Structures are given as structure tokens and as C-alpha cells.
Structure 1
Amino acid sequence: MARIAFYAPMKSPLSPVPSGDREMARNLMRMIGARGDEVDLVSEFRSHDKAGDAEVQTRLRIEAKGEIARLTGALPGDCALWVTYHNYYKAPDLIGPAVCAARGLPYVQIESTRANSRLTGPWAGFARAAHDACDAAQVICYLTANDLITLERERFGTQALVELPPFLPLDDLPPNGPHGGPILTVGMMRAGDKLASYRLIAGTLPYLDAGWSLEIAGDGPARAEVEALMAPFGSRVRFLGQLDREALQSAYDRASVFFWPGVNEAFGMVYLEAQAAGLPVVAQDRPGVRDVLLPGPTYPAPTEGAEALAAMLNRLLQNTETRREIGAQARDRVADRHLAKAASDIFWRAAGPLLERSR
């Protein structure tokens, strides 16, 4: 068994603020340690610069130097591998490559992106740092086909690029529910892309055939805006608030269809949760999102707008047998491709040889 250093420059898995990044980091730590290896969160240093502020970037680089010095001396002697999750131009890994070079550790990245378009402009220095960190990695595990495009084009030397499909932190699928209830939406309520998805949902509902109802699970600072968007539909829309895992699973179980447009989602863990529960999904055909959706159904392009989403919803709501068939196929695909055991096997097939070579 090995000791693994884990680091997430975008957001620590110990952050009190819920987000997809936090959950993915937690899931990765469990997945990496699934065979009994010890996974240590070695730093909570956050290198995130949301606005492209030169002063912020300078301050973060100075702080990173102190963290490099600390970790170079503080890492346990039996540390065998460093893994960084989510290195990109707004949150580059400013410490991992330097610590690995000083300590002679193999360096692996998961879900990293290269953004040549950001090598000029307010994030130019951070974009270059993210590229340099990518170059330092012997293995980069990518989650979506969209990320692979630039990683492959800019691949450094003999670096291995390994597909690691997004996964749920489960060993087995949950039981299949009755699925005779409302449409279900699950999404954080915040400004930007999440609110854009809620606007698209509100624009879709008027095109639905009679008899529909919608439950919305989620909360956040934009809740008032979401409630205002849904106010015209009265009691047909029910807000569930932020749910714990058990209550959320109950919502998936009773729903008939899962609906989330997915505006600019990296991929969206909620799609995997819904499909694992046996729900057909209505979403737009977007990069990243399509990597976690069941192939086969025709998901509308973003340019087709709300009416196309409504047409897909209406077809599913009107045909119980189609819903059940698609839901069963989705469960099978999640079981084969998107559970923790499959992810752990893929990761260790890629990272295991690095440990052997470093001994």
C-alpha cells in the first residue's frame, strides 16, 4: 500500500461551501484510496483568481512559494505519488510540480485543461502556469472528450492521457424506484450558468402538454430569482430546497423524468445520479454533458431552444414504456462505466506503474 498526496487548487474538499468541485474532490480521494492506500490532503492553499486580477495573482504566487517550502520539508518520507485535481487557467497548480521535483515524486493530474486563448489577456500568467503544470505531469486523466482535444494537441513528451469517465461514489446502483411522479430538476441556484439553465426551464414549461408537475431540488443565493421565474406556474412547481442524500434519492425514485438543460456544465454529476436511479434525462446536447448521457436518445442542440426541450419532455411523459426502457439502459451504462470501482481500476492502471518506477 502507498501514501498519496492529494491537492485541489480550485477548492479544497474540506471547503464548507457546497459545489460540484468539492464533491468531485472528495469522491476522488475515496476512489484513489479504495484499495487501501492512504490519501492525504496535503494542502488547502487555493490559487483561484476569478476576475483576472494581476495583484491577486502576484499575491497567490508569493503564498505558493511559502507552501512549496513547507511541503518540501513536511511531506512524509513514504509519500509515493502526488495527485492534483482541476488545474486550469483560473486555478493553476502553483505548488505540485515544484514539490514533486524537489522530492522526486511522480506527478498525476485529474481533470486538467489547457486554454491557449488565455495565454494573452488578464489570466496570461496563470494560464501559462497551468500549461507548465500540465507539462510536468506524467499522467493526465481527462473526464470528457472536449478536454482531450487541447490536452492531446499540447501533449508534452511521452505524457499519458487516460480517459477517466466521471463517476458516482458508489459500489452498486441504488434500487430502481417507481418513477411515476413529476418531472425533477436538481441544481444549485446561483447567478451565471445555473440561473441560465433555470431560465431555460421556465421558458420550456409553457410548451408542455397538460398534466405536468415539476419538483426542484436545490438552493442558493439566486433562489429568489428562480422562484420568480417559476411563479407563473403556481402549484405545478414545488420547491424541495437543499436535500440530504436520502431525501434526494427519494426525489429521484418518485420522478418520471429528469430535466436539466446543462448550460455550460463541465459534465454534471446530477445526470449520473438521475440515470443511476433509472430516470430518462432531458438535456441539451452540449460538450461535457454528452459524455455522461446515455447515447441513443436525440438531445436537442442549444440552438433549438425551449420548444425542442419541451418536445422531448412531452414524448417521454406520454410514453411510460419508453421511459422505462431508456431508464433501464441508462442504469446499465452507469453500472458499467460510471461507478467508483471502474474509476479506481482505470486510475491505478495508469498510476500504478509510476509507483513501481519511483521505488
Structure 2
Amino acid sequence: MKIAFYAPFKPLDHPRPSGDLTTALGLTRYLSRHGHEIAVASRLRARELASRPLLWPLAAFEALRAGMGRADVWLTHHAYYKSPDVIGPWASRRMGIPYAVFQGIYSTKRRKTPATRLGFELNKRSLLAADVVFSNRRLDMENLRRLLPEERLCYVAPGIDPGAFTRDAQAGAALRASWGAASRPVIASVAMFRDDVKSQGLRYLISRLGGLERDFLLVLGGDGETRAELTALAREHLPGRALFLGQLPREELRAVYSAADLFAFPGIRESLGMVYLEAQAAGLPVVAFDNGGIPEVTRPGETALLTPPFDDAAFTGAVESLLDDADRRAAMGRAAAAYVREHHDAARNFSVVEERLLALAGRRA
């Protein structure tokens, strides 16, 4: 099966890592490994397309060019009001092939604001044109049901390759030695240092952990425009208790998780948070806010302690309770690794997408 692939939000080779890019790469690699051809139909980044009229002629040209291709099915990844797919519906119809969307998002509140109304309508148009919309968030599924019938919707649980993050005790011990951690408890956190809710969450984490009067080492993986600010904040609140690792290749995160005792990141309005799956796969209990998609990628009370957002006492109390109890950390870590293997194995979950696309391509043939 030849798949015309388009990612309006962020192309597959975008240099800045993120959860949605991780999902897109995982999905396309899975399909490629199972014998399907992924043909990138367009690299046009449609972010804020509705408010950038200079992009509209280019989008029209890309739709015309893409529609001259040949494929068995069209697959768009991550379409929503900020990056609507204005290419796929037209091009797939011209090619005479089914049109599918993975991670389609429908938010009706965006039609109420003039600044977002056009993007909302363009996104709605693409979703209505889809033969199937896959979603990896249950909240998004609820919203999509207001627009599309159940037979055109498909839930796919978020997933990773659990084997890529299995705990490596030897690599973890080597990293701990290089950090001078010795027997100090290590708290890991991984996020992009973007000047948005990511950095807001890191500020919260650093400042609140600074109130714990005990020894530990907070290890932060990631980089971005707020690094200088966050480093200064750590010097103020966590002198001698914070280590910044910079941006790391994803394959190096396994050793970082393996060197830690728990994973903590608030995840303010976190859509899903692939890092929570990675950390749990490496046998780490998680501390985070009980919001967004985080409950969908953890098992609260068994693999993670989720607290009300911005409840300082609850959040620091959850961290401290795990620092105090090595046996509980170990038990939750074992449960976390088993949970990810059982429910969030990307190979198993992406097979649902493959089967549905094959069915669409077969129906067309």
C-alpha cells in the first residue's frame, strides 16, 4: 500500500522534538516496516495558516501538485484549527483515493472567536471530508462525536516502543557516577524549554522542589529559549541540587531514566505527554498534575501520583512520599513498566491504523 502522507503542523524532519513529532515518526516507521510505502505529499507547514494570507497561494499550489500524485490512501497527521489540512481533502479527491486523518482535533469553542473562526472552519471542513479520523485522546474522541458518526472514528491508544526504554541498570549506574549522585535520590524531568506551559511547568517544579529541605538531585533534560532563566531559577531555589543535561537524542534518554528514582513534571494542560510513557517503561513512578491527557498515559495510584493542578502541598507531598519510600518506588516502577508494555506498545496499537487503512484501500480497489 502506498500512503500519501502529510503533516500540516510539523513535517517529519522538523529539528525540534515534541510529542506529536514522536507519534508521527513512530506511526510512519511502523507502516514502513510492515511493507507500506510512505510518500510525503507535501512539506507545507500550515501553522497559523488562517492568519497568514501570503501562504494561501502556496497552499493552493501544493494541493494542485499533490493531487497529481499516485497513492492508495491519503493520511494526514495532526490537523486542528491552528494547522488545518487544506491540501489533503482536495488532493485525495483529485487522486480518487480515501482520505484519513490521524490525531484530528475538533474544538467548537474556536468558532466563537474571530481570530480563530477561519481556522476552525477550515479544520472542520477537512474532518468532514475524512473517511476515518483516528484519535489518541479520549477527550478528542468525545468532541469528534459531535461532528462525525461513530463508524468514521477510531480510537488508538498512544504508544511507544517499550523495549527502547527498558531499564538499563548498568548505564544508569554509570550516569549516576558521572553526576556524582552516589546514593542521593535522583528526580528526572524531561521537557522542551519553550516559553509556554512547558517552561511554566519547569518553573513550578524547580521552585516547589526548592521548598523540600532534604538532599536529592533534580536532573533536567531539554533545551530552548528559557534555559538561561531556568538555570538562574535553579541556582536560586536548588543550589547544588539541579543538573541541566541539555537537549538529548531520544535514544540517550533510556540511560537518563535508568539513572533516576522517579520522574516529575507537572504537565500543565498536557495533551498526552510521551515522556510519561518513556519514564514508566524504564520503571519510574511518575508525579504530575491530574489534567489533560496525563491520566490516559498513567494508571493513577498504581504507576503515578497525580495531584490537583497547582496544589503545592499535594505536589511536593507526592514527591516527598516517594523519596521517603524506596519499596513503594520500586513497586510502582514495576507496575509502570508492565502497564506500558500491556497498554501502550506502539506496534500493537498502530496495527489498528494499518488494518483500517488497508480496508479503505481495498474498498477503493
> Normalising by the residue count of structure 2, what TM-score does the alignment of the two structures yield?
0.90
Q: How far does residue 202 in structure 1 lie from its aligned partner after superposition?
A: 2.0
Partner Cα separation in structure 2 for residue 154 and residue 209 of structure 1: 52
Distance 1:246 1:159 in 2: 38
Shift of the 213–226 alpha-carbon distance from structure 1 to 2, 3 Å rule, reads same
Partner of residue 239, structure 2 = 234
1:301 pairs with 2:308: yes
Residue aligning to 2:136: 143
Structure 2 CA distance, aligned partners of 1:32 and 1:209? Answer: 50
In structure 2, the CA distance between the partners of 1:261 and 1:236, relative to structure 1 (3 Å rule), is same
1:65 aligns with 2:60: yes
* Structure 2 counterpart SS, 1:153: coil
316-325 vs 175-184, which moves further: 175-184
TM-fit CA distance, 1:3:
0.7
Residue 274 (structure 1) aligned with residue 279 (structure 2)? yes
Q: Which of these residues, 311, 317, 322, is aligned with residue 317 of structure 2?
A: 311
Question: How far does residue 173 in structure 1 lie from its aligned partner after superposition?
Answer: 5.3
2:150 is aligned with 1:154: no
Q: What's the counterpart of residue 320 of structure 1?
A: 326
- Measured in 2, the distance between the counterparts of 1:357 and 1:230 equals 58
- Flag the 1:170–1:59 CA change in 2: closer, same or farther, 3 A: farther
Q: Structure 1: how far apart are the matches of 2:189 and 2:201? A: 10
Structure 1 equivalent of residue 217 of structure 2? 213
RMSD after superposition: 1.9
Alignment correspondent of 1:45: 44
Q: Distance in 2 between matches of 1:171 and 1:71?
A: 37
Report if aligned partners of 1:212, 1:236 keep a CA contact under 8 Å in 2: yes
By how many angstroms is 1:169 displaced?
Answer: 4.2
Shift in Å at residue 160 of structure 1? 2.2
| Structure 2, unpaired ranges of 5+ | 174-182
For the residues of structure 2 that align with 1:11 and 1:228, how far apart are their CA atoms?
31
Q: How many residues are paired up?
A: 349
1:170 offset after TM fit, Å? 5.3
| Aligned residues of 1:143 and 1:166 also touching (Cα < 8 A) | yes
Amino acid at match of 1:190: R
| Aligned mate of 2:80, from 81, 85, 88 | 88
| Pairwise CA distance, 1:310 | 0.7
Letter in 2 for 1:243: L
2:228 is aligned with 1:224:
yes
Q: 1:263 aligns with which of 255, 262, 268?
A: 268
Aligned twin of 1:115: 107
Question: Matched residues in 2 for 1:229 and 1:147: separation?
Answer: 36
- Which amino acid letter does the alignment assign opposite residue 200 of structure 1? Y
Alpha-carbon distance in 2 for matches of 1:227, 1:314: 23
Measured against aligned partners, the alpha-carbon deviations of 1:112-133 in whole angstroms (never above 9, x if no partner) come to: 1112111241121111010111
Distance in 2 separating the partners of 1:80 and 1:234: 58
- Cα 1:213–1:175, aligned 2, differ >3 Å: closer, same or farther? closer
Q: CA deviation at 1:59?
A: 2.7
Change in CA separation of 1:123 and 1:302 when aligned onto 2, cut-off 3 Å: same
**Does the CA contact (< 8 Å) of 2:166 and 2:283 recur in 1?**
no
- Structure-1 separation of matches of 2:211 and 2:85: 46
Are 2:195 and 1:200 equivalent residues in the alignment?
no
Give the Å deviation of 1:168.
1.3
Cα offset for 1:246?
4.2
1:351: how far off? 2.3
In structure 1, what is the Cα distance between the partners aligned to 2:30 and 2:341?
15
Note the C-alpha offset of 1:159: 4.3
CA contact under 8 A between 2:164 and 2:254: conserved in structure 1?
no
Question: Counterparts of 1:309 and 1:7 in 2: how far apart (Å)?
Answer: 40
The letter of the residue matching 1:301 is P
Residues of 1 paired with 2:258 and 2:14: CA distance? 29
Within 2, Cα distance between the matches of 1:355 and 1:69? 22
The unaligned stretches of length 5 or more in structure 1 are none
Are 1:137 and 1:159, in contact at CA under 8 Å, matched by a contact in 2?
A: no
Q: Structure 1 residues 336, 106: closer, same or farther in 2, change over 3 A?
A: same
SS at match of 1:82: strand
Distance change >3 Å, CA 153–CA 229, structure 1 → 2: same
Partners of 1:194 and 1:262 in 2: CA distance: 7
- Find the counterpart in structure 2 of residue 23 from structure 1: 22
Q: 2:188 aligns with which of 184, 189, 195?
A: 184
Alignment partner of 1:166 is 2:165: no
Task: From the superposition, tell whether residues 239 and 199 of structure 1 become closer, same or farther in structure 2 (CA, over 3 Å).
Answer: same
The one-letter amino acid of 1:139's match is V
- CA distance in 2 between partners of 1:143 and 1:200 (Å): 27
* 1:28–1:327 CA distance, 2 compared to 1 (3 A): same
Distance 1:122 1:309 in 2: 36
Alignment partner of 1:341 is 2:347: yes
